[in-house]
Amino acid sequence: ETIFLMFDLRRSRKIPLDARFMIAATIIQEIASAKFIVTSRFHAALTALAFGRPFVFVPANPKDPRFSGYLEYMHLCPSYRFKQYVEKNIVNTPPLPNVYKLQKLKSNLITTVKNFLSK
């Protein structure tokens, strides 16, 4: 089963704040339970990464400096290679790169937040 979801909340200021939070929670739940995610949105890629879901990130500008610290944890696919990438990897999704390094990073972040909250 394939489900295509498109969310663009950039122009959502007309939507009440509580409704936007509900939409965001729904998006997060969809990403957390997805079998495979294809996204051009950086925050969706980070959410998939946080939940350990297989995904491919297809940014409009792969050289955007905002992505530089995160690319070692992602499968990045330039848009011109998208069809070829998906045909090759949709069934046999490669594991996330640097998963052990990412787990250590997540563990350190959780510890830091817990220490901060306990003060």
Inter-CA distances, 87 with 37, 44, 52, Å: 14, 21, 21
pLDDT at 51: 92
- Local mean pLDDT, 10-residue blocks, the chain (119 residues): 61 83 90 89 91 89 89 87 77 83 92 95
Are the CB atoms for 102 and 51 separated by under 8 Å? no
Are the CB atoms for 58 and 39 separated by under 8 Å? yes
pLDDT at 49: 92
N-terminal to C-terminal alpha carbon distance within the chain: 47
